[in-house]
Amino acid sequence: MVKAAQPTLKSIRDKVESGERLSLEDGLFLYQPTTPLQEVGELANLVRERINGNAGYYNINTHLNATNICVYRCTFCAFRSDLRSPKGYKMSDEQVLERGKEAIDNGCTELHIVGGLHHQMKYEWYVDLVRILHEAYPDLHLKAWTSVEINWFKHLLKGKKSYKDILQDLIVAGLGSMPGGGAEIFHPEVRQKICEHKSDAQQWIEIHRVAHNLGIKTNCTMLYGHIENSFHRIDHLIRLRNLQDETGGLQTFIPLAFHPENTGLSHIKKPSVLMDLRTMAISRLMLDNIPHIKAYWIMLGIGTAQAALAYGADDIDGTVRHELIYHDAGATTPEMLTVDNIRQLIIEAGREPIERDTLYRKVERDPNDYSKWHVAEKIEAKFVTS
């Protein structure tokens, strides 16, 4: 048997330029500190521009974390609270609806809904939260509940409903799409140490598979910069790529930089800017079938997110009103950005700012009343593969 040649920057460049898929070994080579970051970024930018041109996407969104009380005790989480802790809270229906009203009043197209797994709340509470928002604000896209929460709902129901049944209940209630949280790192060597009781990689993938088969678009994520290594990251990306080959339902990948403050891993330094940009670029190169790569400015910081638009990212997220999870973990970014702020930082990065809705349809606004908007057209990514 002839041993496969070891990757080089030239062999990887040849693959990228011809649209050929990168291997696990290629990904590991790109993560080596001796592989020049600038050249990795140039390759990622080539792919980014091939797929998404010069666009710098953003949306106008609000976050809703209805409770921080959580049955799990993930080592990396600073957001969760015990039931009897002074920090713990659960929003009332009135507070939830007020958040929806605030979103509409500020021209938001999306409400991003995640939170703790409150063990005293029944399944119906989670479904009704989506229902009351959808009934009150039918034009507001509800991106709700990660696969970890869907798995928890099945536990609450003691197996009386399948993942498909639960997702169908949520669709009827008004679910528009799903966020990609809860993926963390798929490999069990890491997952068992940072979130051992949470749904595993197979469950995360299966729930997203079921969602895609029901027509629900989802995002996907990876939490990096804690106890994992480059093999775990590339393994994670390949598992996502394989799912996308099967279903085509993943629309955006968000690499999430770990923030250690106030967590059980507070002794770890947060990832460097160089690691952030390298991970962004490698993600774009490995995930050749996922349309969009997001530089989440809340976690990366505004400057790094801006630079990431030249390292594979085409999306910078949105205004992000009321983000709590990463600020509790020490994020020092602003509580929100204005639309003018976002557009300006995209322009400064040499990209064209384009407002999109959750499903990547271009949004056009009434210049005289910013809260009035309409969807103009679907934005199509352009893949080139051999």
Q: Which of 206, 230, 127, 121 is nearest to 171 (CA)?
A: 127
Q: Evaluate whether 129 touches 66 at the Cβ level (below 8 Å).
A: yes
pLDDT at residue 82, as a whole number = 60
Q: How confident is the model at residue 261 (pLDDT cuts 50, 70, 90)?
A: confident
Looking at residue 384, its pLDDT comes to: 60
Residue 92 has pLDDT above 90, yes or no: yes
Cβ neighbour number for residue 227 with a 10 Å cutoff: 15
Long-range contact set of residues 46-49: C-beta below 8 Å, sequence gap at least 24: 46/16, 46/17, 47/16, 47/284, 47/285, 47/288, 47/312, 48/284, 48/293, 48/312, 48/313, 48/314
Q: How many CA atoms lie within 13 A of 32 on its CB side?
A: 10
Q: Which residue has the higher pLDDT, 67 or 48?
A: 48
Is 333 a residue whose pLDDT tops 60? no
- What would the mean pLDDT of 55-64 be, rounded to a whole number? 93
How many Å apart are CA 293 and CA 363, to the nearest integer?
A: 19
Higher pLDDT, 383 or 239: 239
Strand pairing of 141-144 and 110-113?
parallel
> pLDDT confidence of 324, banded at 50, 70, 90?
very low
Q: Please give the pLDDT value at position 263.
A: 65
> pLDDT tens digits for 138-182?
999 999 999 999 999 999 999 899 999 999 999 999 999 999 998
Which pLDDT belongs to residue 325?
A: 42
Q: What is the mean pLDDT of the chain?
A: 88
Q: Stretch 188-210: mean pLDDT, rounded?
A: 89
Separation of alpha carbons 228 and 189, rounded Å? 9
Say what percent of the chain tops pLDDT 70: 89
Confidence band for 323, pLDDT divided at 50, 70 and 90: very low
According to the model, what pLDDT value does residue 79 have? 58
Q: How confident is the model at residue 73 (pLDDT cuts 50, 70, 90)?
A: low
Angstrom distance (rounded) from CA 48 to CA 281 = 9
Q: What's the confidence (pLDDT) of residue 168?
A: 98
Residue 275 phi, psi (nearest 5): -65, -40
Q: If you search the block for the tokens 């990251």, which residue do you land on?
A: 233
Per-residue pLDDT band for 198 (boundaries 50, 70, 90) equals confident
Q: What is the mean pLDDT of residues 75-80?
A: 60
Query: Which of the 8 DSSP states describes residue 151?
Result: H
Instruction: Give me the percent of the chain exceeding a pLDDT of 90.
Output: 65
Q: 84 burial class (0-12, 13-18, 19+ CB within 10 angstroms)?
A: exposed
Higher local confidence (pLDDT), 215 or 85: 215
pLDDT of residue 77: 60
Cα–Cα nearest to 63, from 256, 357, 279, 336: 336
- Of 126, 192, 324, nearest in space to 333 by CA: 324
Which of 85, 90, 117, 83 minimizes the C-alpha distance to 197?
A: 117
How far apart (Å, rounded) are the C-alpha atoms in residues 292 and 357? 13
Q: Which fold has domain 36-378?
A: TIM Barrel (3.20.20)
Say what the pTM is. 0.90
pLDDT confidence bin for 262, thresholds 50/70/90: low
Site of tokens 């959580």: 70
Of residues 271 and 39, the one with the higher pLDDT is: 39
Of 132-136, 254-258, 370-374, give the range with the top mean pLDDT.
132-136
pLDDT at 49: 98
- CB contact at 8 A, 335 and 302: no
Average pLDDT over residues 350-359: 96
Q: How confident is the model at residue 75 (pLDDT cuts 50, 70, 90)?
A: low
Element of type H or E holding 252? strand 250-257
